[in-house]
A and B are shown apart, each in its own frame.
Chain A
C-alpha cells in the first residue's frame, strides 16, 4: 500500500486535497455499486472536475502500474464499478454540467456525471428529450449509460444508448484525450459504447436529442395469466405495430410495486402489460385502437387519461426493482434475453426452477424485445438461501442461452457475469474480443477483471494460454 500512499500525494496535487479520499470509513462507502453482492474497498477515491484532471490521474496510475476503475452514480447491476483494493476509483459525480443544448442540430453536450434525466430536463424546453430511459434514469449518469450501453422501456422503438451517442471525448489508458465520433472509418465509437469502462474513461458526451412526440397513449391491461399476456405481446408485434414500449410484470412484482408506490394496478392480475404508443396523433390513434383489440383477452384495460395517470402506470413499473425490497429482505436482479416467442416456455421453466429450489422469482420484462428481468428473492439471514438464489439465478441464464438468447440485455457483464461468458462464447471468440481491449489498454489497468473470466493476451497479464494466439499466428489479427 506504500505505492498508493505516494500516489495519493500526487493525486492531491492534481485535483486538490479535498477531492482525494483516503479515510477508511469514507472509502468503504464506495465499496459496491447497485449490486451489493460483490464488495471491495477502493485503495483511493478521486473526485475530478475536468477531463485534464482525469488524464493526469490516469497517467499517474499508469506510471505506478496501479489499476483504476471509473464510477458514475454507482447504480450498475453487474458490479462494473466494483473498485480495486489495490487501485484508484475515479468518480465523475462532480462532473455534472450540461455544457450545451443545440436544439437546431438535435444534440446536447454533457459531462459524464450528468444524470440521464437531467439531459431530458435541459432539452424539454426546446421540445426535445433524451430517449434512452433506464428505470434508474433519475440517478444514473450518462458516462455509466455509455459504458453499459443502457436501455430502457422505450428502447423497443428508439434503440439503446449506442443509437443516441454522436461523440465521446475519451481519456485513453495512456492518458491521452481523444475524440471518438461517428463518421467514416472504423467505428471506434461503436466499440467504446458498451465497453463497460474497460477501454478508457469518457469525459464528455455528445448525445442525440429526440423530438418530443406529438401524442403519447398508454394503456395498462390486466391478464389472468402470464401466458395470455405473452400471447398479446406476440399478436401486437405480429400485427406490425411498433409500440414505444411493451412492458410486462407478473403477480409477485405487481405485489411489490403496489406495496411501494400504490400504483393501483388491476387487483388479482396474474400479469399486467403496459403498452405505450407515441408519434403523430392520427397514427397513434389508429394503432392504439388496434392494440386494444389485440389485448382482447385482458380482463381489464385502462387507458391513461393524462400525464398524471400515465405517470402512475409507469411508476409501478419503474420502481419495481427497488420495490421488491418491500417484500423480500434480499434479491438478485437477473438480466437475460430470449427470443420473444419462447417467452411462455422459458417462464414455465423459471417457475419450475423456483419451486425446485424453494425460492420465489418475480418477473419484470421488456416484453417487446424479449429482455427478461427475473428477480430472485431470498433472505440472506437464512443459511444457504443466498447460495440457492445464486444457483437459480445462474440457471436462468443457462435457460436464456439454451433458447438462443443472451446473458445480458442491458445491465452488462461486469464482474458478475464474467463467469458466464464462456457459456455463450468460445475461447477464440473471447480472445478476439480481448485483442480489441489490448489495443486500447495493453497494460490491463483500466477496469481490469471485468467482462472477461480470465485475462489473457496483452503479454504481461497471466493467462491460461501460452504462446502466440492462433489468430495472430494465422495472420488474421495482430497485437498492438
Chain B
C-alpha cells in the first residue's frame, strides 16, 4: 500500500478541515473529524487493529469532501476514505442487522426498476425477495418525500434515444439519466435534454445505461462499483462529452480514472470517460448561452451539493447560469459548505446524524426567505424537503435544469411554481 502511505503523509495535522466537517460540527470530537480519521487510518496502516470503534468513525463519515476543499495541503481524503472503506468491507465482519440493511439498500437503489417498485403502495415491497423490514423503516420518511415530490406516473415520459439540436448544432453530447433521478425526478431529465437541445446540442441518451456505480463506490463496495462503471463506460463509448445532471454520479464518473488505475484492460478507457464527463452546469457555462432567457421573477436559494461543490469544484457556474435569468435573484444559504446529511445512502445508514444535519440545512434555507430552493442532486432534494416537512415548512424545489428550462421556454413564475 505504497500509495496509501504517501496519501496519509500529505496531512500536516493543521486542522483547517475541522470546521467544515459535518460530523465534527455535530459532535466536536477529534476522531469524527477528517484530521482524526486520517490519524485512525494512519494507525491502521502502521498495523493497528481494525476495531469496531474505528470502523464506526469511518462509517460516520458522510464522504461529503468538504475537507478536501478546506485542506491547504492537498490531502486526497476522497481517495483515502475510499481505500479505507474497501478495506473495512473486506476485513470487518458486520452484524447481521447491518449486513441486511446494506444488502437491502444495494439490492434496490442502483436498479431503476426495483426503485420504481418501491414507489408503489406497500404491497410492492413484498415482491422483493429480501428481508426489507429495517430498510423500509428508515426509508419511509424518504419514500414519503419521494411520493410528495414525484409527479404521477402519467407524467412519466420516456426519453427518446436521440434529441436533435434546435437551430445550428454546436455539440453532440451523451446524457446520463441516473437511477434515482430517472425514477423519481423524470422532469429533471426531460428538462436537461430540452435545455441542451435548445442550446444547440444533439443529445444522445443510450438505452442500455444503468447505474454509474456512485453509491457502491462511496460505500466501499468496490467490485460492484467497477461492474457498474464498466457498463457505463461501454454505454458512452461513442460520444465525446457525457453530460450529467446528478452531482453524485458526475463525481463518481470523474473518478473512474483513479478507480481503474493499474487495471491494464480498463485504465485507459476509464480515464477517457472521466476526462469527458461534465456536470450540466459546468458544460452549459463552458458552452455559453445562446437561447433567449425569459424573465422569472423569483428569489432562489441555491444549495451547494457536496458532490458538485467539493468533489467537482462546481460552484460559480450554476450561480452564473441562474443569475443570467432576467428577474431572478440568487440568495446564499448560510454555511454552504456543510453537508445536508443526504450523502448517498448515509441518510439510510445513519438516520439520526443525517436528520440533525438536515434540520440545520433546512433552518438555513428557510432563513433566506427564498421562493424556490435549487439543488442539483436528487439526494439533497429529498433530504432537505424531508427536513423542511418535519419542521412543518414547504419550499418548492427545482433542479438548475428545470429553472433554465422554464426560463427558456417562457413558462411564467406562477405556473412554474405551482407545479412543484
Contact = CB atoms under 8 A, between A and B. Distances in A.
A74 B30 contact: yes
B31 A36 contact: no
B28 A93 contact: yes
A94 interface: yes
A25 B43 contact: yes
Contacts of A30: 30
A36 B28 contact: no
Interface stretch (A198-206, A323-331, A396-404): A323-331
Interface stretch (B15-23, B381-389, B398-406, B411-419): B15-23
Contacts of A223: none
A274 B271 CA distance: 41
A469 interface: no
Nearest to A261: B72
Interface in A66-116: 73-75, 91, 93-94, 96, 113, 115
Interface stretch (B5-13, B88-96, B98-106, B205-213): B5-13
Nearest to A30: B30
B73 A326 contact: yes
Interface string B10-51: 111111101100001001111100011001100100001101
A139 B48 contact: no
B80 to A, nearest CB: 15
Interface in A323-341: 323-326, 329, 331
Contacts of A329: 9
Interface in A293-320: 319
A138 interface: yes
Interface string B90-126: 0000000000000000000000000000000000000
Nearest to B51: A25
Contacts of B9: 329
Residue among B9, B10, B19, B73 with the highest chain A CB neighbour number at 10 A: B73
B28 A47 contact: yes
A74 B73 contact: no
A25 B74 contact: no
A34 B43 contact: no
A96 B28 contact: yes
Contacts of A96: 28
Interface in A126-169: 136, 138-140
Contacts of B264: none
A388 interface: no
Interface in B48-75: 48-49, 51, 53-54, 57, 71-74
B29 A319 contact: no
Interface size class of B (residues with CB under 8 A): 20 to 34
Contacts of A73: 15, 18
Contact of A139 (B15, B28, B36, B54): B15
A138 B19 contact: yes
Given A25-B40, A136-B15, A139-B19, A94 B31 contact: no
A428 interface: no
B282 to A, nearest CB: 18
A29 B28 contact: no
Given A25-B43, A28-B39, A139-B18, A260 B31 contact: no
Contacts of B51: 23, 25
Residue among B19, B29, B53 with the highest chain A CB neighbour number at 10 A: B29
Given A138-B19, A322-B73, A34 B29 contact: no
Contacts of B54: 25
A21 B28 CA distance: 13
Contact of A113 (B13, B28, B49, B73): B28
Nearest to B74: A326
Given A25-B53, A28-B39, A29-B40, A47 B16 contact: no
A34 B16 CA distance: 10
Contacts of B48: 25
Given A36-B12, A136-B16, A323 B73 contact: yes
A26 B14 contact: no
Contacts of A21: 29
A247 to B, nearest CB: 16
A350 to B, nearest CB: 22
Nearest to B54: A25
A322 B16 contact: yes
A351 to B, nearest CB: 24
Interface in A17-43: 21, 23, 25-26, 28-34, 36
Contacts of A32: 13
A195 to B, nearest CB: 22
B52 to A, nearest CB: 10
Given A26-B53, A30-B30, A260 B72 contact: yes
A321 interface: yes
Contact of B19 (A25, A115, A261, A325): A115
A26 B12 CA distance: 19
Nearest to A319: B72
Contacts of B36: 29
Nearest to A115: B19
Interface string B216-242: 000000000000000000000000000
A261 B35 CA distance: 20
Given A23-B53, A25-B43, A29-B39, A34 B15 contact: yes
Residue among B14, B18, B43, B57 with the highest chain A CB neighbour number at 10 A: B14
B12 A322 contact: yes
B12 A29 contact: no
Contacts of A31: 39
Given A26-B53, A29-B39, A94-B28, A260 B74 contact: yes
A47 B27 CA distance: 10
Nearest to B52: A23
Nearest to B5: A381
A74 B53 CA distance: 22
A372 to B, nearest CB: 19
Nearest to A74: B15
A96 B10 CA distance: 29
B303 to A, nearest CB: 20
B15 A93 contact: no
A325 B14 CA distance: 10
A96 B28 CA distance: 9
Given A25-B54, A29-B30, A29-B40, A138 B72 contact: no
Given A25-B54, A261-B72, A326-B74, A75 B43 contact: no
A33 to B, nearest CB: 8
Residue among A74, A260, A326 with the highest chain B CB neighbour number at 10 A: A74
20 contacts: A25-B31, A26-B31, A26-B57, A28-B39, A29-B30, A29-B36, A31-B39, A34-B15, A73-B15, A75-B15, A91-B30, A113-B28, A115-B19, A139-B14, A139-B19, A322-B12, A322-B71, A322-B73, A325-B10, A325-B11
Given A94-B27, A329-B9, 16 more contacts: A25-B31, A25-B43, A25-B48, A25-B54, A28-B43, A29-B35, A29-B39, A34-B14, A36-B13, A75-B15, A91-B30, A138-B19, A322-B12, A322-B71, A322-B73, A331-B12
Q: Which 8 A-B pairs have the closest CB atoms?
A: A325-B73, A322-B72, A93-B28, A319-B72, A29-B36, A94-B28, A29-B39, A325-B12
